[in-house]
């Protein structure tokens, strides 16, 4: 029988035990977006909003073949970019964002993607989640991207104090979860939670019977 009246210390201990299981289950997590430079990862992450990484990866080879640097993309015709990225959805806004952020990088950052949260979030279409993806995966700077999978999994596992909220604040989740783990774990922790959410802890019908965390998950018997 799973306890529902854990102390904070008991909860933190359980979190680390469960994360140990995820580390064993997912030994080599990686970013699912294909890229070779920080700029390409930044663009791919902006394109990934409200679509799948697989779909983004289907359009970025053509996009990066023609516009793989800030200088080239800043000079691109928006209609041409829209035609390339059309399959990812919201292509009007996304084309505008990636051309605008390319101009910002060229004009404000000497053509180099900035490697800090403050500057990254001044770029068009870039919020904390996108910035954390770029920091952690392109620059090796600890970051904890919070997407829908992270929100769902940390809520069901009750890793966070606001797990009852229907619309929790991603920044609050980031700050709380990061407070329980060493910075060196943040990037891979996010990867593992995302991969676990995709493979097992699905939104509509989680595969609880096959879940490696079933024995301690507070939600396993109620979903």
Q: Which residues are catalytically annotated?
A: 129, 147
- The upper half-sphere exposure of residue 212, i.e. CA atoms within 13 Å in the direction of its Cβ, equals 15
Q: Please, what's the b/e burial string for 2-32 (b: 16 or more CB within 10 A of its CB; e: otherwise)?
A: eeeeeeeeebeebbeebbeebeeebeebebb
Per DSSP, the residues of 80-148 read HHHHHHGGGS-HHHHHHHHHHHHHHHHHHSTTS---SHHHHTTSTT--HHHHHHHHHHHS--------H
Is the C-alpha dihedral spanning 166, 31, 71, 61 positive or negative? Answer: negative
In angstroms, rounded to a whole number, what is the distance separating the alpha carbons of residues 5 and 221? 16
CB 46, CB 101: distance < 8 Å: yes
d(CA 153, CA 193): 7
């Amino acid at each position: 029988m799973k306890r529902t009246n854990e102390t904070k210390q008991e909860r933190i201990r359980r979190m680390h035990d469960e994360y140990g299981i995820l580390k064993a289950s997912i030994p080599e997590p990686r970013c699912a977006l294909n890229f070779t430079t920080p700029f390409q990862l930044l663009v791919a992450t902006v394109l990934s909003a409200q679509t799948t990484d697989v779909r983004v990866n289907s359009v970025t080879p053509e996009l990066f073949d023609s516009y793989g640097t800030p200088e080239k993309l800043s000079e691109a015709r928006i209609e041409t970019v829209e035609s390339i990225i059309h399959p990812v959805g919201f292509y009007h806004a996304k084309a505008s964002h990636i051309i605008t952020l390319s101009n910002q990088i060229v004009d404000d950052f000497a053509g180099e993607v900035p490697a800090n949260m403050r500057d990254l979030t001044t770029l068009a279409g870039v919020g904390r989640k996108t910035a954390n993806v770029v920091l952690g995966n392109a620059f090796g700077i600890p970051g904890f991207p919070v997407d829908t999978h992270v929100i769902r999994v940390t809520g069901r596992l009750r890793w966070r104090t606001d797990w009852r909220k229907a619309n929790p604040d991603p920044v609050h989740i980031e700050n709380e979860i990061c407070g329980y783990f060493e910075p060196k774990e943040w990037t891979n922790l996010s990867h593992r939670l995302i991969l676990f959410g995709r493979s097992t802890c699905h939104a509509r019908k989680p595969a609880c019977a096959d879940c490696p965390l079933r024995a301690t998950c507070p939600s396993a018997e109620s979903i």
